[in-house]
Amino acid sequence: MKDIPKEEALSLLARPMFCEDPDDWEPVKLQAGTVILRAGLVDIDGLSAQLQAELMFRRSHKTGITMYKFTVFKRQPYGLERVYQLDVVQSKVRIKDTHSLPHEHIGTSREQGDASWATWGYDEVLAHFCARTNISFKPPPNHPEFFQLKGNK
């Protein structure tokens, strides 16, 4: 995956962006227990920011591992470039692999997260992602394991 320079990432994330009426979470057919929500972002004037948010959630009841991978991509003619990514892996057993500990990517920079991130629920992960990326979801996406009938929004 190609990352943009950290300075460019910080510049892109400095301006307010919005995601209005995000689509529903979609299951990933090749990975049981994994769902993804993808949405384009607009600027304060309602124009395309040429950025895309991708929220990925995975829970394995077999292994007891829960994973959040919330990413912002910049759209380019040749594909997507990563601007920001929040990785939070939670496990019933202590994680020994330092790469799997909670962290975030800001452009080409990788920064270790606080140990408390490993205890966050969905709302805390989403709130941190929104604060770091300057994105407002209207309305905020429901927890991926929350089932709601279409007519009851």
Confirm whether 149 is domain-assigned.
Answer: no
Confirm whether 153 is domain-assigned.
Answer: no
Question: Each residue of 2-11: pLDDT tens digit?
Answer: 999 999 999 9
- Give the mean pLDDT of the chain: 90
In the chain, the amino acid numbered 77 is: P
Tokens of 146: 């929350």
In the chain, the amino acid numbered 17 is: M
142 has pLDDT over 70? yes
Mean pLDDT score, 69-85: 96
Confirm whether 62 is domain-assigned.
Answer: yes
Distance CA 28, CA 58 (A): 10
Q: Which domain holds residue 130?
A: 6-143
Distance CA 123, CA 126 (A): 5
Mean pLDDT score, 95-111: 83
Tokens of 153: 């929004």
DSSP class of residue 94?
P
Confirm whether 61 is domain-assigned.
Answer: yes
54 has pLDDT over 90? yes
152 has pLDDT over 90? no
Number of domains in the chain: 1
Confirm whether 1 is domain-assigned.
Answer: no
